[in-house]
Amino acid sequence: MSTAPRPRTTTRDPEELTQRLNRWLDSRLPGARATDPRVPESNGMSSETVLFGLDHPDAPAAACALRLAADPAAYTVFPRYDMARQYRTLRLVADHTDIPVPRTLWLEENEAPLGAPFFVMSRAEGRVPPDVMPYTYEGNWLHSATDAERDRLEAATVSVLARLHDQAPAAQADFLALPGPGTPLRRHMAAQRAYYAWVVADRPRSPLIERAFGWLADHWPTDAGPAVLSWGDARIGNIVYNGFEPAAVLDWEMAALGPRELDLAWTIYLHRFFQDLTESTGQRGLPDFLRRGTVERRYAGLTGHIPRDMDFYTLYAALRHAIVMLRIAYRQIRFGEAEPPADPDDLIMNRPALEAMLDGRYW
């Protein structure tokens, strides 16, 4: 793996942010204050997280997490951050499924208190498979687990997807419907095309990404099936595990209505991304974990739904990931953390995998 520094995730001052948070907490719960605030090492670039204790005799939770829309000055990864949408999604999942999600405490849509909309939720204790260094690398807790323990975690994770898709009422999640005409899958693809256009609006375009869009248009599924509530960022790095069982399912900002296969393919492919990265360094990784065929069989056994057109959906997952990676790379260039290459496709970390998929030699 490259030794380049991890891309910055914020341009905000942590001390000032804490002071403003304490003023806001006092307005909601007089006398309340945040204790031991910290930004987790895994803080993402799409929104910011602050972990803190809540000191007050009537505190609704002792351990809290704040999710704050990304700083517009930080060359954001996504063009829009709808914190109310995420908050409503968490509430819907909590009210209608047995999926473990953090308890929502407060939503603040006014930008004045912290400079951007945010919400506060309870914090679950446990372990998260790391992205940096990836959980597929030697030395972390998941890599060091036994085969039986990883199998238990895999089965429990697939169960999360199955229960979400079967239990969450899509009819009550109309606020997650993406705009535009056509089926939910058509709308989902249109949103990705719009996102890509935004990413390259002032930067070089990607021939590889555009080739992938063309391949998907030529291999469109004949029957995408009814829409379900799709988590969107369905991967083990967004789950807090208590032992090897999910304790909290996080990061719902990419939630939408769409086919079941969107989440299945994202779970499978995002593991393969880390596995490919690990193998490129000469390590073995976890080649027997979250294998495509096993995930599909487990899901079918739990739901009765046999996943369809998975070549399409896994390539779509790789394409979506490539667009995000391209934006993050352009962000690094913006902040002087990387130099622009002659070929913009060299900025896409999963370029070899996406090219192999397009050539029919990946799976």
347 neighbors 4 (Cβ within 8 angstroms): no
The conformational region for residue 251 under phi > 0 = left, psi -120 to 50 = alpha, else beta, is left
Structure-token pair, residue 1? 């793996």
What are the Cα distances from residue 277, in Å, to 62, 92, 136, 270, 285?
Answer: 38, 36, 9, 11, 9
Q: How far apart are CA 214 and CA 196, in angstroms?
A: 14
106 neighbors 120 (Cβ within 8 angstroms): yes
What are φ and ψ of residue 4, in 5° steps?
-60, 150
DSSP 3-state of 241: strand
36 is catalytic: no
Contacts of 135 (CB under 8 A, 6+ apart): 129, 142, 143, 236, 237, 274, 286
133 neighbors 1 (Cβ within 8 angstroms): yes
Beta-strand runs (E) in 95-211: 104-108, 118-122
Instruction: From the candidates 218, 233, 263, 346, give the one annotated as an active-site residue.
Output: 233
Structure-token pair, residue 76? 């954001």
Contacts of 305 (CB under 8 A, 6+ apart): 165, 225, 260, 299
* 3-state secondary structure string across 70-106: CCHHHCCCCCCCCHHHHHHHHHHHHHHCCCCCCCEEE
What are φ and ψ of residue 47, in 5° steps?
-150, 170
Structure-token pair, residue 8? 């910055």
DSSP 3-state of 290: coil
Active-site amino acid positions? 233
